[in-house]
């Protein structure tokens, strides 16, 4: 028999690679016991990356979600791990050092055991401080190599970085094949190279299925000494996501490795529950293209999870490009034409920008530059005319050292713009800020939270946290979900009337309590037009007036807080008793009952 191989369920990344949102805390609490019951996971990825940010976006406290999700695994003896972006912490741009230090203290207190630290540029200067902070906080730092395929990303290149990370105190190395473009043979040689020099170092492999190489890569790294494999489970495995645990287990067992057994009864329950989460609301935000593999990803090297955003970008850009082409009497382009053009442009742009590994946020930067170039070329303009500030920070080295040299034309463009290339530690560009955030919390009378976790969320995601605290985030999400459901219905061939019925099902009618003419707004002497859909009414606000045949103006009031989703009666319209004037959707508050929500005075 060969060595033992353990499995880690990347439950967080499964969702992030599928769509926009993560499960709610109540859903995470339901699925955790079934994941444990499956009996085949020694580790589970619970949070990190976009997890906290996503929770804030739909108005949920991420600290409660992390504590609730990690608790049952900790009690069952299953290690939990998170993903962090080194210099960028849990966000898309750099974080001050004092906020980075606090992150590890908070996450350890919340029950997270391991932090997977990566830098999109593989710059040791961005990873080494996080290794130190994690160790000081009591966490296990798993240092990460972001895998891609290019002339500069060789076994020797990665092995040298691994040596430095292990010397900095990392007991584990993750091979993060975020786009699944790492070639199996190279990954096997890299695993062997690290294990021969550092036999006690744990190696965990994380590979996406996108272009179809992941199963071969898993077999190669296991044959050469890997210890743990990241896996997914149905109904969100394969596609642009990760290989399913059943297939990985069968392949490795057949090759003689010691692998855990899977409780299939529990697997099927967890599978059904995960599908229920999709059906509840998460599916409305999952791009269907992420269900499929695509060999085209080998051409661009972009992560499969970006396909959804790329297609949205292309759909938005297509009409503008075709208008330009039509004016020039040139043939219009299809989405497939533009997709190939974008992939070709990524291939052209990537080496000129120094071969940054195509992982968050650098994959977005490269894709954006390529898209802007495609649009510029369609207009007959030169490349590189539209580069945003964050991309310039990458080019100039403010985020870390690029793996390869910049093209002379990019260096010349930077000089033309008056930019300099600082040769300093990237962290030096971002001074401490915790004291400022502490002051804000005191001024707003906000609790800094258990173990300063609320202070951490404000400092890490200040804009999203403020929106969460104000309630704006929850409102935005509910409106976004409503639009997504309506779009899904329209896309499935539902008629306008059927969509109206769907919307009305979650709203409550305001009806005429007597016969008369509708007079909108408070000033009955000079009535204005009906209010727009989306207008908010608070409890006891005047909704409208009914002008009765006996010359009285009777007021109609809203007895709850909500927003108009449909107006059914025009200004001056004659209505009979019981006719619907409008539909209002109540602002959701689970503490209130479902009693009658409107009255008339």
Same domain membership, residue 187 and residue 110: yes
Find the helix or strand (DSSP H, E) in which 457 lies.
Answer: helix 453-460
**Cβ(49)–Cβ(12) under 8 Å?**
yes
Nearest by Cα to 113 from 139, 89, 136:
139
Q: Work out whether strand 574-575 and strand 516-520 pair parallel, antiparallel, or are unpaired.
A: antiparallel
Which residues lie closer than 8 Å to 600 by C-beta, 6 or more apart? 513, 554, 555, 556, 557
pLDDT tens readout for residues 3-55: 999 999 999 999 988 888 999 999 999 999 999 999 999 999 999 988 999 99
Last residue of a domain, one of 266, 288, 310: 288
Tally of CB atoms within 10 A around 578:
11
pLDDT winner (highest mean) among 172-176, 297-301, 374-378:
172-176
Which of 235, 266, 288 marks a domain boundary?
288
Query: Phi/psi of residue 258, each to 5°?
Result: -85, 115
Q: Determine how β-strand 553-558 pairs with β-strand 598-600.
A: antiparallel
User: Does 328 lie in the same domain as 284?
Assistant: no
In this structure, the answer to whether residues 318 and 342 fall within a common structural domain is yes
Q: What is the mean pLDDT of residues 415-426?
A: 90
Which of 229, 253, 288 marks a domain boundary?
Answer: 288
What are the Cα distances from residue 284, in Å, to 277, 304, 361, 388, 505?
A: 11, 19, 24, 30, 18
Closest CA to 16 of 74, 90, 120: 90
| Structural domain count, the chain | 3
In whole angstroms, what is the distance from residue 300 CA to residue 559 CA?
A: 56
48 vs 564: CA distance, rounded Å: 37
* Gap between the Cα atoms of 431 and 95, Å rounded: 9
Q: Is residue 155 included in any domain, yes or no?
A: yes
In a domain, 208, yes or no: yes
User: From CA 496, how far away is CA 473, in angstroms rounded?
Assistant: 29
d(CA 30, CA 33): 7
Does 100 lie in the same domain as 32?
A: yes
- 261 shares its domain with 334: no
75-89, 122-136, 415-429, range with the lowest pLDDT: 415-429
Q: Is 251 found in the same domain as 380?
A: no
The predicted-structure confidence for 200-216, as pLDDT tens digits, reads as follows 999 999 999 999 999 99
Give 457's pLDDT tier (boundaries 50, 70, 90).
very high
- For residue range 482-501, list pLDDT tens digits in order: 888 877 777 666 666 766 77
Residue 222 lies in a domain: yes
Inside any domain, residue 347: yes
Q: Is 427 helix (H, G, I), strand (E, B) or coil?
A: helix
pTM of the model: 0.80
- The answer on pLDDT for 112 being more than 60 is yes
The predicted pLDDT at position 24 comes to 93
- Residue at 466 is within a domain: no
Same-domain check for residues 125 and 98: yes
pLDDT score, position 526: 43
Percent of the chain exceeding pLDDT 90 equals 57
Q: Give the C-alpha distances (Å, rounded to integers) separating 285 from 72, 127, 485, 587.
A: 28, 32, 10, 22
Residue 309 pLDDT: 63
Residues 164 and 39 in one domain: yes
Residue 275: how many CB atoms within 10 A of its CB? 14
Same-domain pairing of 61 and 127: yes
Task: State pLDDT tens for residues 229-248.
Answer: 999 999 999 999 999 999 99
Residues 572 and 593 in one domain: yes
The answer on pLDDT for 589 being more than 60 is no
The confidence score (pLDDT) of residue 298 equals: 82
Give backbone dihedrals phi and psi of 370, rounded to 5 degrees, phi first: -60, -45
Same-domain status, 90 and 188: yes
194-227 b/e (C-beta count within 10 Å ≥ 16 → b): bbeebeebbbbbbbbbbbebbebbbbbbbbbbbb
Query: What mean pLDDT is reported for the chain?
Result: 88
49: left (phi over 0), alpha (psi -120 to 50) or beta: left
How far apart, in whole angstroms, are the C-alpha atoms of residue 118 and residue 318? Answer: 35
Q: Is residue 279 situated within a structural domain?
A: yes
Q: What is the mean pLDDT of residues 526-538?
A: 66
327 within some domain: yes
438 domain residue, yes or no: no
Which pLDDT score is estimated for 263? 98
Q: What is the pLDDT of residues 252-288, one digit of tens each?
A: 999 999 999 999 999 999 999 999 999 999 998 887 7
Q: Are 47 and 56 in contact (CB under 8 A)?
A: no
Q: Do 404 and 526 share a domain, yes or no?
A: no
pLDDT, tens digit (0-9, with 9 covering 90-100), for 128-176: 999 999 999 999 999 999 999 999 999 999 999 999 999 999 999 999 9
3-state secondary structure 251-302: HHHHCCCECCCCCHHHHHHHHHHHHHHHHHCHHHHECHHHHCCCCCHHHHCC
In 3-state terms, what secondary structure has residue 13? helix
Q: What are phi and psi of 115, to 5 degrees?
A: -115, 125
Instruction: Please give the residue range of the domain that contains residue 332.
Output: 297-429
CATH of the domain at 526: 2.40.50.100
């Amino acid at each position: 028999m060969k060595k033992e191989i353990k499995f880690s369920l990347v439950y967080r990344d499964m969702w992030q690679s599928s769509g926009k949102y993560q499960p709610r805390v109540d859903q995470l609490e339901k699925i955790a016991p079934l994941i444990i019951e499956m009996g085949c996971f020694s580790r589970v990825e619970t949070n990190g990356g976009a997890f906290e940010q996503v929770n804030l976006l739909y108005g949920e406290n991420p600290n409660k979600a992390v504590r609730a999700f990690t608790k049952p695994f900790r009690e069952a003896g299953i290690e939990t791990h998170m993903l962090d972006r080194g210099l960028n912490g849990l966000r898309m741009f750099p974080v001050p050092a004092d906020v980075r230090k606090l992150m590890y203290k908070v996450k350890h207190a919340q029950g997270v055991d391991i932090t997977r630290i990566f830098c999109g540029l593989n710059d040791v200067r961005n990873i080494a401080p996080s290794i130190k902070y994690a160790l000081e906080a009591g966490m296990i730092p798993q240092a990460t190599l972001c895998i891609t395929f290019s002339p500069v990303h060789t076994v020797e290149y990665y092995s040298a970085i691994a040596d430095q990370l292990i010397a900095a105190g990392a007991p584990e190395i993750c091979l993060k094949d975020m786009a699944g473009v790492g070639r199996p043979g190279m990954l096997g040689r890299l695993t062997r190279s690290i294990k021969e020099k550092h036999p006690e170092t744990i190696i965990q492999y994380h590979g996406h299925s996108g272009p179809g190489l992941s199963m071969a890569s898993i077999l190669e790294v296991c044959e050469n000494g890997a210890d743990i494999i990241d896996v997914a489970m149905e109904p969100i495995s394969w596609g642009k996501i990760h290989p399913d645990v059943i297939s990985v287990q069968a392949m490795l067992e057949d090759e003689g490795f010691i692998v855990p057994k899977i409780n299939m009864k529990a697997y099927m329950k967890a599978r059904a529950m995960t599908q229920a989460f999709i059906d509840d609301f998460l599916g409305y935000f999952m791009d269907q293209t992420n269900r499929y593999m695509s060999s085209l990803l080998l051409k661009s090297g972009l992560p499969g999870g970006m396909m959804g955003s790329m297609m949205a970008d292309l759909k938005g850009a297509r009409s503008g490009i075709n208008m330009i082409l039509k004016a020039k009497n040139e043939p219009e382009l299809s989405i497939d034409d533009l997709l190939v053009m974008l992939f070709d442009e990524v291939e052209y742009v990537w080496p000129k920008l120094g071969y940054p590994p195509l992982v968050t946020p650098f994959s977005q930067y490269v894709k954006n530059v390529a898209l802007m170039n495609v649009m510029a070329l369609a207009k007959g303009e030169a490349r590189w005319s539209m580069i945003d500030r964050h991309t310039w920070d990458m080019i100039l080295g403010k985020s870390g050292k690029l793996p390869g040299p910049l093209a002379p034309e990019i260096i010349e463009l930077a000089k033309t713009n008056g930019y300099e290339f600082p040769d300093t530690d990237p962290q030096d560009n971002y001074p401490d800020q915790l004291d400022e955030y502490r002051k804000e919390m005191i001024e707003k009378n906000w609790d800094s939270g258990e173990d300063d976790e609320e202070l951490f969320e404000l400092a890490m995601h200040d804009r999203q946290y403020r929106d969460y605290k104000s309630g704006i985030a929850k409102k935005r999400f509910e409106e976004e979900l409503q639009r997504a459901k309506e779009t899904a219905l329209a896309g499935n061939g539902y008629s306008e009337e059927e969509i109206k019925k769907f919307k009305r099902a979650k709203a409550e009618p305001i009806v005429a309590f007597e016969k008369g003419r509708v007079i909108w707004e408070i000033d009955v002497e000079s009535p204005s037009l009906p209010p727009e859909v989306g207008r908010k009414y608070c409890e006891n606000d005047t909704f409208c007036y009914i002008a009765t045949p006996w010359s009285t103006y009777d007021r109609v009031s809203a007895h709850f807080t909500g927003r108009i989703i449909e107006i059914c009666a025009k200004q001056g319209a004659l209505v009979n008793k019981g006719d619907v004037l409008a539909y209002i959707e109540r602002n959701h508050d689970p503490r209130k009952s479902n009693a009658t929500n409107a009255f008339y005075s």
